[in-house]
Amino acid sequence: MAFPIAEIVARLEARYGIPEWKPRNNPLEELIHCILSQHTSDANSFRAYRRLREQYPTWQAVVDAPTDALAATIRSGGLANQKAPRIQAVLRAIREAHGDYSLDWLRQLPTPEARKFLLGLPGIGPKCAAIVLCFAMGRPVIPVDTHVFRVSWRLGLIPKSLGEAKAHDALEAIIPEPLVYRFHVALIQHGRAVCKAQNPRCAECPLQELCAYYQANSANTRDSN
C-alpha cells in the first residue's frame, strides 16, 4: 500500500516551515542527554545535563563519581536514581568496546551496525539509538516519540497496537530517506500544536482527508445524527 508521505510532509511544512538538519551534539553527548531526557521535560533534561557537565568536566569523572552523588547532580531530570547508574554503565561499556569515551567512530559504520551497537548498550532502546543516529549523525532514521507515534497511527500509517518501540522499523520502511528527518520534525510540531493526545483539533488540521482517525470519527458523527 502506498502512503501519501510526500503530501503529508508538504502540507505540514506549509504550516510549520521546512526544517534544516544541524548536528546538536557529538554522538556520545547526544546519548547521555537522551538518557537524561527520558520521562521528563526538555527544560529539566537540559538543566540536568548542564549540571552534569559543570560538576564532572570529563566522562571519566562521571564514571568515577559515587553514584549517589551523580544522582544528586542530575536530580532535576527526574528518575535520578535510575539514570545515574545507567549513565555510568553506558560509559563503561563504550570504553570497554573501543578504548575511550567516544562514539565518533560510529560514523564509519553503516547505519544498521551503528544501531546494533547502540542497542547493545545498557538500557538503550530504539528511541535513544534513533536520536543519536538522527540528530548527531544525520542518518535517515526516525526517533519515534509520543507525538510521532500518535500522529502516525491516527493517519493510518501504522497500527496503534504496534507500539512505539516497533514503530521505528515500520515507519522507516515507508518513509523515503530524503523525507525522514522532515517527516519526524513535522509530526512532532503537528502533535504538539494540533493533533494533541486529548481533544485533537481536527477542525483546523490540514490532513483531514488523508487521516484515518478523522475519517472514522467524522463518519461516526454523521451516523449518530
Question: Do residues 128 and 166 share a domain?
Answer: no
DSSP code for 134: I
Q: What is the CATH number of the domain that holds 211?
A: 1.10.1670.10
- Res. 51: pLDDT tops 80: yes
Task: Dump pLDDT digits (tens) for 172-221.
Answer: 999 999 999 999 999 999 999 999 999 999 999 999 999 999 999 876 55
The reported pLDDT for the residue numbered 2 is: 73
Lowest mean pLDDT of 20-29, 148-157, 194-203, name the range. 20-29
The reported pLDDT for the residue numbered 220 is: 59
Task: Dump pLDDT digits (tens) for 52-78.
Answer: 999 999 999 999 999 999 999 999 999
User: 136, 166, 186: which is the final residue of a domain?
Assistant: 136
Question: What is the tally of structural domains in the chain?
Answer: 2
Q: Which residues contact 108 (CB under 8 A, 6 or more apart)?
A: none
Question: Do residues 32 and 118 share a domain?
Answer: yes
What's the pLDDT band for 225 if we cut at 50, 70, 90?
very low
Cα distances from 83 to residues 34, 55, 132, in angstroms, run 10, 16, 17
Question: Do residues 172 and 116 share a domain?
Answer: no
The reported pLDDT for the residue numbered 41 is: 85
Task: In whole angstroms, give the CA distance from residue 201 to residue 198.
Answer: 9
- Res. 139: pLDDT tops 80: yes
Question: Do residues 32 and 130 share a domain?
Answer: yes
Task: In whole angstroms, give the CA distance from residue 132 to residue 101.
Answer: 15
Task: In whole angstroms, give the CA distance from residue 223 to residue 60.
Answer: 64
- Give the type of residue at 120: G
- Greatest alpha-carbon span in the chain: 68
Cα distances from 93 to residues 29, 67, 145, 185, 192, in angstroms, run 15, 16, 26, 31, 36
Q: What is the CATH number of the domain that holds 92?
A: 1.10.340.30
